[in-house]
Amino acid sequence: AQKVTQAQTEISVVEKEDVTLDCVYETRDTTYYLFWYKQPPSGELVFLIRRNSFDEQNEISGRYSWNFQKSTSSFNFTITASQVVDSAVYFCALKDSNYQLIWGAGTKLIIKP
């Protein structure tokens, strides 16, 4: 069965600290895609990144970086030098064989000034 687990329900850090959000997935597919979305307090869902199962290279985009490890079925998301504007709920998701997204429960990130 396809499943995405985000074990951290809520994380609170002080501004400028680095923070890592964990995502562990389960799938029997050999080809799959993983995603991260951000949901700020305003409620909209913002696409952050997509990674396919054949590309294990880490990705960096500004203060954001993603560590994909097939050996541990993890796709973790790190924010470096966090800012108050990073406060949001972050979702990890897995594309299943029907091309629909299986979502984790989300991690609420609170960045304190």
Partner 1 sequence: NAGVTQTPKFQVLKTGQSMTLQCAQDMNHEYMSWYRQDPGMGLRLIHYSVGAGITDQGEVPNGYNVSRSTTEDFPLRLLSAAPSQTSVYFCASRQRDSYEQYFGPGTRLTVT
By the criterion CB under 8 A, which residues form the site for partner 1? 4, 6, 9, 33, 35, 43-45, 47, 50, 91, 93, 95, 99-101, 103-106
Residue 47 C-beta: closest distance to partner 1, Å? 5
Q: Is 6 within 8 Å of 92 (Cβ atoms)?
A: yes
User: Residue 110: phi, psi to the nearest 5?
Assistant: -115, 120
- Specify the residue, 4 or 88, whose C-beta has the smaller distance to partner 1: 4
- CA 34/CA 30 separation, integer angstroms: 12
Residue 87 C-beta: closest distance to partner 1, Å? 17
Residue 51 C-beta: closest distance to partner 1, Å? 10
- Specify the residue, 9 or 57, whose C-beta has the smaller distance to partner 1: 9
- Specify the residue, 5 or 78, whose C-beta has the smaller distance to partner 1: 5
Residue 65 C-beta: closest distance to partner 1, Å? 19
Cβ-based neighbours of 94, under 8 Å, separated by 6 or more: 2, 3, 4, 25, 27, 32, 33, 34, 35, 101, 102
- Specify the residue, 7 or 81, whose C-beta has the smaller distance to partner 1: 7
Q: How many alpha carbons lie under 13 Å from residue 84 in its C-beta half-sphere?
A: 2
